[in-house]
Amino acid sequence: MSGSFADLERHRFLSSRLVEELSRRRLPVEGGWGHCSAQFGTEATSLALLSLCSSPAGSLAMKKNLPTLLAQRRSNGTWPATGDGASESIWATALAANTLMYVQANLAMIAPSLDALVQFRPLETLWLVRLKFRFSDRQVRFDPTKYGWPWVPGTVSWVLPTSMAMIALERARKRGLVGGLELETRLRLGAEMLLDRACVGGGWNAGNAVVYGVRLRPHIDATAIALAALQLHHQNPIVRDSLTWLLDRVQCPSAYSLAWLILAAAAYRDVRADVIPALTAAGDRLAVLVEDPQSIQDTSTIALAALALGVGSNANPFEVNA
């Protein structure tokens, strides 16, 4: 982010305070982090590890807590959303795999999770389901031949797990950890699915653009994460319109959504002249929202805010276009 030297220093100071708050919230027995309770959460733990890794003061704590994340992984390479025996979660698996790659974990440990992401198929791949969406279930409008990833097994594609799976697999591809025609096909179909599900005028919500003939509004966090996944498609008109929509939301009242906005928009700072001023405004707004870290209930929000406020001086764990 750009801005005055004083603002940048303030952002760094707030980022370090947020990291300190993360260290304080570590679960005392098994380690890791929960969202708002003592229950382990894969998302909260992954984001906390990313924040600790990006902070000089937190790198040692990151290494100590990394085994906790790995311990929650199942034999098939997937992670559950929480540590209570819940079903495997594609969002959690993709986020955890991306985290492990970013923090330079033992890459051999990541291979089963990457294979699981490549192999996982949503419900739309079944021909009966495709016929249903094409001819009988017309309340939603999307092309079932363009599919990504579901939240959990046995369901259809959704925007957020598809976006995070693409981010993780694109990072893995760039590092030479996965490759081949099947991977390229999944990344292509994932991008096509996201572009097909975009809201009219730009942006994304959790799933579909039109339901029962009603145009649905985009969400800031879904739009940001989808844009992070579509960095390589920045010239596409839908991506350009969606970025314009996102940059107009820098006064968002949600620290969680605003942090995602910053992390996604930062990946486009070299392709759009209006990104840097928006990042400056968003960073100032976020600094106000998280000035008192102890008042923020959700641990994922604290971790994301720390990453977003430090994005000007640290690498971006959700930027894969570099």
Q: Which domains, and CATH codes, for the chain? A: 5-309 (1.50.10.20)
Of the chain, the percentage scoring pLDDT greater than 70 comes to 91
> Which helix (DSSP H) or strand (DSSP E) does residue 214 occupy?
strand 214-215
Over residues 121-174, the pLDDT tens digits come to 998 887 676 666 665 555 566 677 899 999 998 888 999 999 999 999 999 999
CA 314 vs CA 50, 96, 101, 253, 263: distances in Å: 11, 20, 16, 25, 11
Q: What's the rounded Cα separation, in Å, for the pair 278 and 266?
A: 10
Over residues 231-246, the pLDDT tens digits come to 999 999 999 999 999 9
Q: How many CB atoms lie within 10 A of CB 55?
A: 23
Is the pLDDT at 106 greater than 80? The verdict is no
**Alpha helices, DSSP H, located in 212-291:** 220-229, 237-247, 255-265, 275-289
DSSP state of 80: E
β-bridge pairing 79-80 and 210-211: unpaired
CA nearest neighbour of 209 among 142, 151, 122, 123: 142
Using the CB atoms, write b or e for 71-82: b if 16+ within 10 Å.
ebbeeebbbbbb
Which residue, chain included where needed, has tokens 């003592």?
A: 38
